[in-house]
Amino acid sequence: MENISSPSQGLYRQSPLERVVHGMPFDDALRHEIDLAGVSRVFVLGSRKAAESVSMQRLQSALGGRFVGAYCNVAAHVPADCVIEAAIAAKAANADHLVALGGGSVVDAAKGVALCLKANLDSREALLGVPAAGAADPGPWPVQDGPWLRITAIPVSLSVAEFTGIAGITDPEKRVKHIIAHPWMSPRAVIFDPALTLPVPLRIFLASGVKAMDHAAERLASMGSHPLMDAVCTQALQMLAQALPAVARAPGDLSPRLQCQLGAWMSIHGSAEGVRMGASHALGHVLGAHANVPHGLTSCVLLPSVMRWNHPVNAERQRRVSAALGSRDPAGDALEKLIRELGLPARLNELGVVREDLELVARKSLRDPGMKFNPRKVGSVDDARAILEMAW
């Protein structure tokens, strides 16, 4: 039996998230959450596809007279201009609450809007000038110095952006992801309704589930372990490894979709213990912004190779990943096998990424805050390029 050890020092930081609701139609849950929040002027964010959707119509109907406007032009990877436009519209509407209906980009955009309104940011330059999030702050949460607009998140994918106070905003000129963070950017409430995931293309939904597995796998394989994180991330991988194939086999069955949502929620839990993710996330941030690859697909093509590259230094930790997946294979192989079984790409060359861009992606990735937390040191462009070549 593997020895179980606990860190001699640790810090658990509970986010300002108050409620996670599932088991009822989202519009019924939303009415209840808005009543509890005591707000009266609700501004909604969504994607372009959401603008005329039945879900958006139901959402507006649920809000009734409390609905004061919407910005349904959020694009993938959250271009900074989208955030500024939405913030200006929310301010003009005198909003006192935000609702985000959509995937991770929509939720991150809502977080950016909350920050813009709090800090009076009204331009792309001002938003991208906010200091980038770096190492976890070991001190107490900042005091809530005056009111923030809180967010009710209604996710339709498994990216679980709704469970953090971190957002990735894309600089459209440099094609890099700018990471901002503040605890009060965390949503107040999250509403899970698996029926909302049905209109999402199956490939995108499944890939977002691999992104959730990326959260759990990188943390479980981290050298900075924590027993609470290990337990929750192990359960997350077990649930997702069973539920994602079940969704692929029977896309209309809501039960495994809800299991995916709950497993994805567990996958992000390690952030509360301060256990950071590594090269898969760092490279994914850059690849997504540079080549416009959806983040779920970046995890599909990067995570197995990152596991293989890290294996010489964290083989024991990776065995936990394999065991959670129900496999005796090395973690990188087990993950790639599952990704292939889901019908998803597992190599960069399957995404139309130009090989000549790998050098630039590698160079940019070294500036991502997450890279320094990788178990095996990524100390040069050549190191980052080696991972990308393995993933090619």
Residue-wise pLDDT tens digits, 105-155: 999 999 999 999 999 999 999 999 998 775 455 444 555 567 899 999 999
Please indicate, yes or no, whether residues 167 and 297 belong to a single structural domain of this protein. Answer: no
Cα–Cα distance for residue pair 339/342, rounded to 1 Å:
5
* Model confidence band, residue 273 (pLDDT cutoffs 50, 70, 90): low
Pairing of strands 176-181, 166-171: antiparallel
Q: Which two three-digit tokens encode residue 29? A: 């849950």
The answer to whether residue 11 sits within a structural domain is no
Phi, psi of 184 (to 5 degrees): -80, 0
CB atoms within 10 A of CB 146: 6
pLDDT digits (tens, 9 = 90+) for 39-51: 999 999 999 999 9
Counting residues of the chain whose pLDDT is more than 90, the rounded percentage is 78
pLDDT digits (tens, 9 = 90+) for 318-337: 999 999 999 999 999 999 99
Domain finish residue from 129, 163, 195: 195
- Is 378 in a helix, a strand, or coil? coil
Higher pLDDT, 205 or 179: 205
Cα–Cα distance for residue pair 261/263, rounded to 1 Å:
5
Cα–Cα distance for residue pair 62/343, rounded to 1 Å:
37
Please indicate, yes or no, whether residues 177 and 283 belong to a single structural domain of this protein. Answer: no
Query: Can you tell me the mean pLDDT for 355-379?
Result: 92
* Among 241, 219, 218, CA closest to 228: 219
* Among 254, 253, 221, CA closest to 237: 221
The answer to whether residue 143 sits within a structural domain is yes
The answer to whether residue 232 sits within a structural domain is yes
Calculate helix-pair angle for 202-220, 295-324, nearest 10 degrees: 50
The answer to whether residue 376 sits within a structural domain is yes
CB atoms within 10 A of CB 9: 6
Please indicate, yes or no, whether residues 26 and 164 belong to a single structural domain of this protein. Answer: yes
The answer to whether residue 290 sits within a structural domain is yes
The answer to whether residue 3 sits within a structural domain is no
Q: Which two three-digit tokens encode residue 322? A: 């394999």
Please indicate, yes or no, whether residues 217 and 173 belong to a single structural domain of this protein. Answer: no
Number of independent structural domains in the chain: 2
Please indicate, yes or no, whether residues 206 and 319 belong to a single structural domain of this protein. Answer: yes
Calculate helix-pair angle for 381-391, 295-324, nearest 10 degrees: 80
Q: Which two three-digit tokens encode residue 42? A: 């609700």
389 burial type by CB count under 10 A (0-12 exposed, 13-18 middle, 19+ buried): middle
* Model confidence band, residue 293 (pLDDT cutoffs 50, 70, 90): confident
Cα–Cα distance for residue pair 115/118, rounded to 1 Å:
5
Domain finish residue from 138, 164, 195: 195
Cα–Cα distance for residue pair 197/201, rounded to 1 Å:
9
Please indicate, yes or no, whether residues 259 and 207 belong to a single structural domain of this protein. Answer: yes
Please indicate, yes or no, whether residues 214 and 163 belong to a single structural domain of this protein. Answer: no
Residue that the structure tokens 């702050």 belong to = 137
Tell me the average pLDDT of the chain: 92
Please indicate, yes or no, whether residues 254 and 313 belong to a single structural domain of this protein. Answer: yes
Q: Which has the minimum average pLDDT: 67-81, 118-132, 264-278?
A: 264-278
CB atoms within 10 A of CB 292: 14
The answer to whether residue 14 sits within a structural domain is no
Please indicate, yes or no, whether residues 238 and 112 belong to a single structural domain of this protein. Answer: no
pLDDT number for residue 1: 43
The answer to whether residue 207 sits within a structural domain is yes
Please indicate, yes or no, whether residues 82 and 169 belong to a single structural domain of this protein. Answer: yes
Cα–Cα distance for residue pair 392/351, rounded to 1 Å:
10
* Among 250, 254, 205, CA closest to 103: 205
Q: Which two three-digit tokens encode residue 286? A: 């850059």
pLDDT number for residue 223: 87
- Structural contact between residues 70 and 123, judged by C-beta atoms closer than 8 angstroms: no
Strand partners, 43: 69, 98
Residue 64 belongs to domain with CATH number: 3.40.50.1970
DSSP state string for 205-254: HHHHHHHHHHHHHHHHT-SS--HHHHHHHHHHHHHHHHHHHHHHH-TT-H
Q: Which two three-digit tokens encode residue 183? A: 């605890």
Please indicate, yes or no, whether residues 218 and 363 belong to a single structural domain of this protein. Answer: yes
Instruction: Determine the Cα angle at 83 with ends 81 and 85, to 5°.
Output: 70
Domain finish residue from 160, 195, 230: 195
Greatest Cα-to-Cα distance within the chain, rounded to the nearest angstrom: 61
Question: What is the domain range of residue 112?
Answer: 19-195
* Among 120, 111, 118, 130, CA closest to 171: 130
Residue that the structure tokens 């040191």 belong to = 377
* Model confidence band, residue 5 (pLDDT cutoffs 50, 70, 90): low
Please indicate, yes or no, whether residues 211 and 299 belong to a single structural domain of this protein. Answer: yes
pLDDT digits (tens, 9 = 90+) for 333-349: 999 999 999 999 999 99
Q: Where are the beta strands (DSSP E) in 75-120?
A: 97-102
Residue 375 belongs to domain with CATH number: 1.20.1090.10
